[in-house]
Structure 1
Amino acid sequence: MSREGGVDPIRPRASLRTAVVWEVLRGALERRAKAADRPELDVLDTGGGTGNFAVPVARLGHRVTVVDPSPDALFALERRAAEAGVTDRVTGVQGDTHGLLGDVEPGAYDVVLCHGVLEYVDDPAEALRNVVGALRPGGSLSLLAAGRGGAVLARALAGHFAEAQYALSDPDGRWGAGDSLPHRFTAEELTGLVGGTGLRATAVHGVRVFSDLVPGVLVDTEPGALEALLRLELAAAEEPGFHAVATQLHVLAERD
C-alpha cells in the first residue's frame, strides 16, 4: 500500500478516517486503468453523499456517477464538484440500492464504491447484488461497512459492558435498542456477502483501528502525533489480527 499523501491540513481528523480506504482505492483505480488500457474510468459511487470520495476520484480524471437518496447531499455534491473544478466529470442521481439498476446502466462501470451503505439497508445481500450488477467484467468493488468488533470494544471502553456483550452476541452486531445502525459485520461476513455475488475478494483492511479510541486532545496537541497515528493506521490496516477491533472494514473485490 502506498504511504504517499499524508494528512489533509484542512481536515486532519477526517483524513484519519479516510486515509486507508483512499490509498487502497487509488491503487485499485490505477490497476484497473492499466488493465483497461485507458486513463478514464467509469466509476459508480453508491450512497456517495456529498462526494467525499467521488470528487477526489474525479480529480484523478475519472468519470463518477453518485447515487444517493438525499437531494440535499446531491446539492452539496454539485457545489463541491464545482469548487474542485470537476463538474463535467461528476453526475448526481437520486436513488438507492433497491432500485439501483433502474437508475444506472447495468454492467457499465469499471469500479463501484459501496461505502457506508450495507449497515443501513434492510437486506444487505440484495443491496450488494444490485451494486455488483453495475460492474463490467474485470471491474472492481470497494466495499466499506461498520465492523462488529469495533463497536464491542468502543462500548466496553466507555464502561457500557452490558451493551458490549449484547453487541458481541447480537446477529446484527447491535448494542441495543438505542443503536442507530441496523447492521454491523465481521470480516468473514463481508467476504461471504461478496462471494455470494460471484466476486472474488482480493484484500481486507481494518479501518479506524486506533483513531476512534485515541483521545482527540492527544492527537491535536502532541507534536507529530497526527502523522504518527496515520502511519500506524496504514500499517495496522493490513494486519488480519486488527480486523476484529476495527471500527470499519474495507473489502476490495474483483469480477473475473
Structure 2
Amino acid sequence: MGGETPSRPRASLRTAVVWEVLRDALDRRAAVGQSAGGGTGGGAGAGLEVLDAGGGSGQFAVEAARLGHRVTVVDPSPNALFALERRAAEAGVADRVRGVQGDTQGLFDVVGRGAYDAVLCHGVLEYVDDPVEGLRAVAAALRPSGVLSLLAAGLGGAVLARALAGHFTEARQALTDPAGHWGAGDPVPRRFTADQLSELVAGAGLDVTAVHGVRVFADLVPGVLVDAQPGARDALARLEAEAAALPAFHAVATQLHVLAERR
C-alpha cells in the first residue's frame, strides 16, 4: 500500500486500505472492459460508470474521477452534495462527478438499474432501516460482473474500543446486542461481523472476492505516539495494510471492507 507522508492528515490512515483495494478493483474492471472492446459502455479507455451510494462530500468519488471514471453520487444531504460539487471543482474533475439527492430506499427514482460498472456503498448499511433491502438495491444497480465496494462498521472493533476505554458494561452490551449497539450514546445504530456482511452480500446475488479489516490499529493508537515519532505514520500505514487482509484481524477492526462481484 502507498506510504503516508507526515503532512497528510491522520484521517488518511483510516481510508488508505480501502482506497488501495478499490483502486485496484477499478483498474481490473476497466481492463476487462477494454479487452472486451469497450464493454463498460463508454468505449476502451473511456473509464467506468461508478455509483457512490451515500457518498456524501465525495471523498472516494473525487479520487475515482481522478482516475478517469464518471461518478454519480447519491446522498440525502444537500449540504454534502454542495461540498461534493466544490471538492470536484477544486480537483478539476467537475465534468466527471454528478451529485443527486436521494437515498437507497428510493435509489431507482434517481439512477438506473444495471447501469454501473462499480458501486460504492460506504457507511450506509449501519443506518438504513433494512440492510437486506438496502444492499439488494445497490447490487441491482450493477451491470453483470460489476464490482461492489462495501464498507461498514465492525462489531469487534467497537467492543474492543469500549473495553480499552474502561467502559466494560458498554462493551458487553455491544457484544451481546443483536445490532452491536452499546447504548443510548452510541452514534452507530448497527454493526456487523465479517460473516454477517458476507452473508448479506451473497443474499444480494454477489460473490465475495475479498474481505479486509479497516482501522485495526489507527483508532487505538494514541495520536501523540504517531505524531511524535519520525516515520511512525508510514510504519502504522504499512502495519494497517499488512493486517487488513488477515482474517485474524477482521474480528477487531473498526470497519470491514467487502469487495464483491455481481454474478
Q: Does 1:163 align with 2:170?
A: yes
Q: State the partner residue of 1:117.
A: 124
Q: State the partner residue of 1:12.
A: 9
Does structure 2 conserve the Cα–Cα contact (< 8 Å) formed by 1:112 and 1:131?
yes
Any idea what SS the aligned residue of 1:98 has?
helix
How far 1:101 sits from its partner (Å)?
1.3
Whole-angstrom CA distance in 2 between matches of 1:205 and 1:225: 22
The match for 1:29 among 22, 26, 29 is 26
Cα distance per residue 1:135-163 (max 9 Å; x no partner): 00010000000000000000000000010
Listed as ranges, the gaps of 5+ residues in structure 2 are: 35-43
Whole-angstrom CA distance in 1 between matches of 2:5 and 2:65: 18
How far 1:11 sits from its partner (Å)?
3.3
The match for 2:226 among 219, 223, 230 is 219
Q: State the partner residue of 2:55.
A: 48
How far 1:8 sits from its partner (Å)?
5.4
Residues 44-193 of structure 1: pairs in structure 2 closer than 5 A:
44-193=51-200
Q: What residue identity is the alignment partner of 1:181?
A: V
Change (3 A) 1:34 1:235: same
How far 1:12 sits from its partner (Å)?
2.7
Does structure 1 conserve the Cα–Cα contact (< 8 Å) formed by 2:5 and 2:234?
no
How far 1:187 sits from its partner (Å)?
0.2
Any idea what SS the aligned residue of 2:251 has?
helix
Listed as ranges, the gaps of 5+ residues in structure 1 are: none
Whole-angstrom CA distance in 2 between matches of 1:53 and 1:236: 22
Any idea what SS the aligned residue of 2:190 has?
coil
How far 1:76 sits from its partner (Å)?
0.4
RMSD of aligned alpha carbons:
0.9
What percent of counterpart residues are identical? 74
Whole-angstrom CA distance in 1 between matches of 2:239 and 2:90: 32
Whole-angstrom CA distance in 2 between matches of 1:49 and 1:93: 10
Whole-angstrom CA distance in 1 between matches of 2:161 and 2:108: 37
Change (3 A) 1:64 1:10: farther
Q: State the partner residue of 1:199.
A: 206
Does structure 2 conserve the Cα–Cα contact (< 8 Å) formed by 1:49 and 1:68?
yes
| TM-score where L is the length of structure 2 | 0.95
Change (3 A) 1:248 1:91: same
Cα distance per residue 1:28-80 (max 9 Å; x no partner): 00110011113300000011011100001000000000000000000000000
Q: What residue identity is the alignment partner of 1:171?
A: P
Q: State the partner residue of 1:252.
A: 259
Whole-angstrom CA distance in 1 between matches of 2:260 and 2:6: 31
Higher mean C-alpha displacement, 231-240 vs 36-45? 36-45
Does structure 2 conserve the Cα–Cα contact (< 8 Å) formed by 1:156 and 1:164?
yes
Q: State the partner residue of 1:208.
A: 215
| TM-score where L is the length of structure 1 | 0.97
Change (3 A) 1:44 1:9: farther
Q: What residue identity is the alignment partner of 2:160?
A: L
Any idea what SS the aligned residue of 2:59 has?
coil
Q: What residue identity is the alignment partner of 1:240?
A: P
Q: Displaced runs of 4+ in structure 1, greater than 6 A?
A: none
Does structure 2 conserve the Cα–Cα contact (< 8 Å) formed by 1:145 and 1:249?
yes
Q: State the partner residue of 2:37.
A: none
Change (3 A) 1:246 1:161: same
Cα distance per residue 1:103-133 (max 9 Å; x no partner): 1011000000000000011111110011111
Cα distance per residue 1:156-185 (max 9 Å; x no partner): 000000100110010000111221111000
